[in-house]
Amino acid sequence: MNKNLKRIASVIMTVAMVSTAMIGCGNSTSQASGGAASGKTKLTLWHIQTSTAADAIKASVKRFMEKNPQYEVEVVDQVNDSYKQKLAMAMSSNQTPDVFIQWGGSGLIDYVNSNKIADLTDLMKKDNYKDKFIDAGINQCSYNGKIYAVPVENVSVAGFFYNKDVFEEYGIQEPKTISELEAACDKLKANGVTPFALANATKWTGSMYYMYLATRFGGLNAFADAASGKGKFENPAFEFAGNKIQDWVKKGYFIDGFNGMDDDSGQARQALYKGDAAMDLMGSWFTGTVLGENPDFMSKLGFFQFPALDGSKEDQSLCAGTVGDNLYSISETCKDKEGAFKLIQSLLDDQALQDRKKLGKIIPLKDFKPDDALTQKILDTVNKAKGVQLWYDQYLPAEVAEVHKSTCQEIFGLTKTPQDADKELQSAMDAYKAKNK
Amino acid sequence: MQSQTNSLAKRRAASTRNAAIIFLVPAFLFLIIYIAYPIVYSFNLSCYNWNGFASNKVFVGFNNWKELIGDDVFRKAFLNNVIIMVLSIIVQLPIGIALATFLDFGGKKLNVFKVIWFIPMLMSSVAIGYLFKYALDASSGIVTGISKAFGGHSIDLLGNPKTALLTITVAICWQFIPFYMVYFLAAYSSIPSDLYEAAIIDGAKKSQYFWKIALPLMKPAIKSAIVLSMVGSLKYFDLIYVMTGGGPGTASELMATYMYKNAFLSQRMGYGSAIASGMFILITIISLITIKALNRKED
């Protein structure tokens, strides 16, 4: 009898253990299918905004749910760093969030070819909604003539942010040409100030210098041709960029130990705030970061476009960056695409526009008017530009982009010659092309 | 009479076996789902080109494996792993034993040190990584600060390809020495105290007790510690990922960070799986050889 009791107990224990495992599995599937029991349509939204910008999204979503009580929206704040991997994981298991952000470029092409992203062309054309956005923004959301996203967040172009106090102290004007920039750097160096703050363990930060120098030398075509296979990365434009960077590194223009520093944890910004370094080449989200992190510094913050290359025949107004930054898309598996589209639109309702303007964002709308002079200056730079070079690491296919970032870091570290780096990048591109014919 | 006890024993054995099976099934299921299946699946994936989310995978046979064999970065990553492994074993274990011996001989009055020295083990790897990263920051870190105080230049340890790996190894040792300290403390406590008393009564000095009695008795513990440290070093990931991400360039690349980069950043899930499977094979072979070698010496 006693033995039987024990046996029964052991069976119960086992069932309990196994079933907890089952409950674990059950939960994750029910999350994916949405809480249909409550009678509401559930939508999930993934974004990567932080602090006040994330609050703005939350507020928009709250207004959306009040106006459309049939929806229940789950907002998930993701971290920039691991976002792409998480999204890929969700896509591979068909649990793609209904609304998610992406950056266009090769990522968008991959999502379209894998049939994971919804075609929004008809929804965008309804009531001429797409005409509200500036054309470059819509271009970035499009592939093969179809629109797959809404450029909600920000016009982000890279440019030099600088500490006005430092420039004033040494009587330096905003440089218009690269030779003026170098003269300014030498002057700063002579006075014990490091010209450029850079945290290049992050890699895409150094890529901005490379990208701008190559664009100033070879225009948009040098890169577009190399990426499409019409041209090559072993090209004077990229060699110029690499040589210039190494020249600047040797002259000590960058802060000490930049290749070991991390931009996400603000190691470069610290140097700029303290006045140890004078300039930081960064995307225009920089104003938002400073606003959130060190608002007192805003009054000292200046901006100028990456200077022109003396004597170059190429267009020197070009910007590097993205028009829209985070593009909001809808998953192919979303059950209520119209509802999801309405949700995206709610992120740009009148109240949201006010909220976002306060955060220093430049929303890619044709009639957008910023409140402060700094943002206006960035917007003017974009409006003057004849074209925008999309970030190399978004434009290139992921595996080639990784090679670019790594070789570019080695150019900065003086452990690879520009020629070898370009050769390596070209062979990565060739290998990718050979595989994906 | 004889047959009855026999059958009783048999019944008892059978019921123990049944109970054992029932109790082992859940653990076994977990092992299959979370260990065995992923291993088999990554071997399978290593024969495909796949970006990680597309519904179609392209079968490419052994192409990924051929690429892996000729891959200089993977070879370098493996060598880096071996460097970390050797340094970990020759630094962490002796210091771990030394600290454990100190605590064991010192008795209760040294409990404060036991707690303090154990603290690094309680911190998450990511926190340790950031801690060291800030401490070693070339413009405002501690090392640079000390150097500047003596009129020197700023010192860049993590951004310099020659020093990055060694610097991280120091951080790894800092993190894991407490583990081996506790491990060897446990080994000490398993040595019967009468052995210690007998040795002292026979006139042995403490150093003689350590070299002639304690150390030989801890041999099995040291052997498992070597294997543990070895396997841990070969699949190491977290501090490297946080502190340098394998950079600058590929200076501190490890097999695991290289796998992560390929599978998730370059979106080459197939090649990443080939690296993971290659790691699995390499680590298994090295572990088996080491265990064999260590056991042979005993005979």
Q: Where are the alpha helices (DSSP H) in A80-169?
A: 80-92, 105-113, 121-125, 135-140, 164-169
Say how many C-beta atoms besides its own lie within 10 A of residue B22's C-beta: 15
- The Cα A263–Cα B254 span in angstroms is 22
pLDDT band at A27 (very low <50, low <70, confident <90, very high): very low
- The nearest CA of chain B is from the CA of A423 a distance in Å of 15
Q: Which of residues 210-269 of A touch B (CB under 8 A)?
A: 255-262, 265, 267
Task: Please report which helix (H) or strand (E) contains residue A143, including its range.
Answer: strand A142-143
Q: Do A107 and A398 contact (CB within 8 A), yes or no? A: yes
How large is the average pLDDT for residues A183-201?
A: 94
- Decide if B23 touches A, using CB distance below 8 A: yes
**How far does chain B reach from its first CA to its final CA, in angstroms?**
45
- The Cα B50–Cα B270 span in angstroms is 6
- The nearest CA of chain B is from the CA of A435 a distance in Å of 9
- The nearest CA of chain A is from the CA of B18 a distance in Å of 10
If you write DSSP's letter for every residue of chain B in order, what string do you get? -HHHHHHHHHHHHHHHHHHHHHHHHHHHHHHIIIIIHHHHHHHHHTTEE--SS-S--EE-TTHHHHHHHT-HHHHHHHHHHHHHHHHHHHHHHHHHHHHHHHHHHHGGGGHHHHHHHHHHHHS-HHHHHHHHHHHT-TTTSHHHHHHHHTT-----SSSSTTTHHHHHHHHHHHHHHHHHHHHHHHHHHTS-HHHHHHHHHTT--HHHIIIIIIHHHTHHHHHHHHHHHHHHHHT--HHHHHHTTT-STTTT--HHHHHHIIIIIS--HHHHHHHHHHHHHHHHHHHHHHHHHHHHHH-
Identify all chain A residues contacting B127, using CB atoms and an 8 Å cutoff.
none
Please state whether beta strands A319-324 and A388-390 pair in parallel, antiparallel, or not at all (unpaired): parallel
Q: Do B137 and B167 contact (CB within 8 A), yes or no? A: no
The pTM is what?
Answer: 0.80
pLDDT band at A30 (very low <50, low <70, confident <90, very high): very low
Residue A206 pLDDT: 95
pLDDT digits (tens, 9 = 90+) for B53-106: 877 888 998 999 999 999 999 999 999 999 999 999 999 999 999 999 999 888
How large is the average pLDDT for residues A385-402?
A: 89
pLDDT band at A31 (very low <50, low <70, confident <90, very high): very low
Token pair listed for A305: 């476009």
Q: Which of A195, A198, A196, A244 is nearest to A217 (CA)?
A: A244
| Cis status, amide bond into A397, omega within 30 of 0 | no
Q: Do B137 and A116 touch (CB under 8 A)?
A: no
- The nearest CA of chain B is from the CA of A40 a distance in Å of 29
The C-alpha angle with vertex A52 and arms to A101 and A82, in degrees rounded to 5, equals: 40
Structure ipTM: 0.75
Nearest to A110 among B15, B51, B153 (CB): B51
Q: What is the mean pLDDT of chain A?
A: 87
- The Cα A374–Cα B58 span in angstroms is 50
Nearest to A267 among B137, B164, B262 (CB): B137
- The Cα B78–Cα B84 span in angstroms is 10
Q: Do A201 and B158 touch (CB under 8 A)?
A: yes
pLDDT band at A68 (very low <50, low <70, confident <90, very high): very high
pLDDT digits (tens, 9 = 90+) for A83-99: 888 898 899 888 899 99
CA distances from A85 to A308, B152, B261 (A): 37, 43, 10
Q: Do A114 and B160 touch (CB under 8 A)?
A: no
Q: Do A18 and B29 touch (CB under 8 A)?
A: yes
Residue A14 pLDDT: 52
- The Cα B271–Cα B187 span in angstroms is 42
Q: Name A133's bridge partners.
A: A365
Residue A57 pLDDT: 92
pLDDT band at A237 (very low <50, low <70, confident <90, very high): very high
The parts of chain B modelled with pLDDT lower than 50 are none
User: Higher model confidence: residue A8 or residue A332?
Assistant: A332
Nearest to A115 among B55, B134, B251 (CB): B55
Q: Do B139 and A262 touch (CB under 8 A)?
A: no
- The Cα B168–Cα B87 span in angstroms is 11
Q: Which of A339, A288, A329 is nearest to A140 (CA)?
A: A329
Give the nearest chain A residue to B21 (CA atoms).
A14
Nearest to B266 among A7, A402, A409 (CB): A402
Three-class SS state of A41: strand
**Whether pLDDT at A230 is above 90:** no
Q: Which of residues 145-204 of A touch B (CB under 8 A)?
A: 200-201, 203
Residues A21-30: contacts with CB under 8 Å, at least 24 apart: A21/B26, A21/B29, A21/B30
